[in-house]
């Protein structure tokens, strides 16, 4: 059968791609004039909201003035200014910026930087990066090798570098010995055990999303989790990479997700998504200054992309940052996020709603077939996608994810633009409730 489009996309059986033509604030209009509420900001991307003229203008002005220089030859004012602005916000000492084009590139860059730091320190045996299951750090092969996402890994498993993993903190599905109603942080202790089992002299870094994104659905680790992770990393000379691709730039109600764990500072922070808020593909690695100096003194960072340190990406990042500051959107996300979670918790009356969780404007509903047993729908039921389709039919875009229970499991994520109003949140949650009811009624 001839396709109705020449675009090659992820396969989505039965999904008709509405054609988007215009967007503003939390709304997207399709070609039929239908107004949709973008309750997911795409994939938790559009932190500043759609159609912000000053960001488009900053982008156009920079493209007209200086669109491109190669980052290994020349620098530019927007890149320098963005580095200073992010350094003032990120929980890192003397942060330095490596600007890239997306989250997966940021993960690749962070992993390679951690490796080069080990080499520069005279510890060439440190080649492993410990990651958590579930987790997601990107689709490229290096990033996928440290991602605990069975559905995305499956076909590529034989091609992935073998890296050690530990269980992620995931209270709703935790079955670790010693963990019951009260969390014993056994998942956290697994880091020390794994480093010891692998041999501390072989481990370069540990990578974690401060709040777990699409692979587990907005899971917030316990209060003491990262203090203990930091202690363990320090004890064994292992670097701590915080993947803030989803949590960075205000999504959780703080500038960075790690800001919720006061006093804990990672060594390397990655970010993306909200950094350019979808106006351009962008991502960033920020690293402790003394570590970067070490690599530079040892001969420099052997890494880079054609589009690293792109002036227009930097100009957009800077315009996004200034917009978030001027409209106080980060604090606002903290406040409206409380309303969002309170409203979502009201959905637990629906029998298929197993758990509701999140922080700030990063939230998820975990949907299950049997609530008492926490049993997921079979993977073939594609329940998250069905709910997404029902919500779209009712005018609301949510983000469908899952696969966290050995490939099964359904998560509906919300991550709207940070300026969303409480009235719009009410509308979104009402529609989501109807969508869950409709999709699960037929199942
Ligand atoms: C936490 C996290 N890290 C990395 C990535 C990969 O980013 P990208 O899709 O921009 O390559 C994602 C994307 O969803 C993410 O959520």
Q: Give pLDDT, residue 12.
A: 76
CA angle 99, 104, 110 (to 5 degrees): 60
Q: Which helix (H) or strand (E) holds 348?
A: none
243 lines ligand 1 (CB under 6 A): yes
Kindly give the distance from the C-alpha atom of residue 107 to the centroid of ligand 1, in angstroms, as a whole number.
Answer: 8
CATH entry 3.60.140.10 includes domain 55-326:
no
**Matching CATH topology for 20-51+328-442 and 55-326?**
no
Report the distance separating Cα 347 and Cα 431, nearest Å.
Answer: 11
| φ and ψ of 98, to 5 deg | -120, 110
Whose tokens are 């070609």? That residue is 31
Kindly give the distance from the C-alpha atom of residue 46 to the centroid of ligand 1, in angstroms, as a whole number.
Answer: 14
Kindly give the distance from the C-alpha atom of residue 2 to the centroid of ligand 1, in angstroms, as a whole number.
Answer: 33
Q: Give pLDDT, residue 1.
A: 47
Q: Give pLDDT, residue 179.
A: 85
Kindly give the distance from the C-alpha atom of residue 137 to the centroid of ligand 1, in angstroms, as a whole number.
Answer: 5
CB distance 370 to 351 below 8 Å: no
Report the distance separating Cα 8 and Cα 285, nearest Å.
Answer: 30
Q: What is the pTM of this model?
A: 0.98
pLDDT digits (tens, 9 = 90+) for 217-262: 999 999 999 999 999 999 999 999 999 999 999 999 999 999 999 9
pLDDT digits (tens, 9 = 90+) for 328-368: 999 999 999 999 999 999 999 999 999 999 999 999 999 99
Ligand 1 mutation target, pool 246, 266, 279, 400, most atoms within 8 A of CB: 246
Q: Give the start-to-end residue ranges of the domains of the chain.
A: 20-51+328-442, 55-326
Report the distance separating Cα 316 and Cα 82, nearest Å.
Answer: 9
> Which one-letter DSSP state was computed for residue 219?
B
- Intervals of the chain under pLDDT 50: 1
Q: Give pLDDT, residue 178.
A: 84
Report the distance separating Cα 75 and Cα 98, nearest Å.
Answer: 12
Look at ligand 1, atom 8, and give the residue with the nearest C-alpha: 103
> Which one-letter DSSP state was computed for residue 5?
-
CATH topology of domain 20-51+328-442: 3.90.1150
104 lines ligand 1 (CB under 6 A): yes
Which tokens go with 412? Answer: 């509906």
Ligand 1 mutation target, pool 138, 218, 411, most atoms within 8 A of CB: 138
């Amino acid at each position: 059968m001839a396709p109705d489009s020449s675009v090659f996309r992820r396969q989505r059986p039965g999904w008709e791609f509405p054609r988007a033509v215009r967007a503003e604030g939390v709304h997207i209009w399709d070609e039929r004039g239908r107004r949709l509420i973008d309750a997911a900001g795409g994939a938790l991307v559009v932190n500043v909201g759609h159609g912000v003229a000053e960001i488009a203008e900053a982008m156009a002005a920079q493209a007209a003035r200086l669109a491109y220089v190669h980052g290994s030859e020349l620098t530019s004012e927007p890149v320098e200014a963005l580095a200073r602005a992010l350094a003032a916000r990120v929980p890192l000492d003397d942060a330095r910026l490596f600007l890239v084009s997306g989250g997966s590139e940021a993960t690749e860059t962070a992993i390679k930087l951690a490796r080069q730091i080990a080499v520069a320190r005279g510890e060439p045996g440190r080649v492993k990066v410990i990651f958590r299951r579930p987790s997601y750090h990107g689709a490229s092969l290096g990033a996928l090798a440290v991602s605990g996402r069975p559905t995305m890994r499956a076909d590529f498993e034989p091609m992935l570098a073998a890296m050690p993993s530990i269980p992620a903190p995931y209270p709703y599905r935790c079955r670790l010995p010693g963990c019951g109603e009260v969390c014993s942080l056994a998942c956290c202790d697994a880091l020390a055990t794994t480093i010891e089992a692998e041999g501390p002299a072989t481990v370069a870094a540990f990578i974690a999303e401060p709040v777990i994104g699409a692979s587990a659905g907005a899971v917030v680790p316990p209060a003491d989790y990262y203090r203990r992770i930091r202690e363990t990393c320090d004890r064994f000379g292992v670097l701590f990479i915080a993947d803030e691709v989803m949590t960075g730039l205000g999504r959780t109600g703080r500038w960075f997700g790690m800001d919720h764990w006061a006093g804990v500072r990672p060594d390397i922070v990655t970010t993306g998504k909200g950094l350019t808020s979808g106006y351009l593909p962008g991502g960033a690695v920020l690293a402790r200054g003394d570590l970067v100096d070490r690599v530079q003194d040892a001969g420099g960072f052997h890494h880079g992309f054609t589009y690293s340190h792109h002036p227009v990406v930097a100009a957009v990042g800077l315009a996004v940052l200034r917009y978030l500051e001027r409209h106080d959107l980060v604090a606002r996300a903290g406040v409206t996020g409380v309303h969002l979670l309170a409203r979502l918790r009201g959905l637990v009356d629906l029998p298929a709603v197993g758990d509701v969780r999140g922080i700030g404007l990063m939230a998820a509903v975990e949907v299950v077939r049997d609530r008492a047993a926490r049993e997921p729908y079979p993977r073939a039921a594609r329940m998250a996608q069905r709910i997404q389709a029902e919500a779209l039919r009712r005018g609301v875009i949510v983000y469908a994810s899952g696969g966290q229970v050995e490939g099964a499991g359904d998560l509906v994520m919300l991550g709207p633009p940070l300026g969303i109003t409480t009235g719009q949140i009410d509308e979104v949650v009402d529609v989501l409730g109807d969508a869950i009811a409709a999709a699960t009624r037929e199942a």
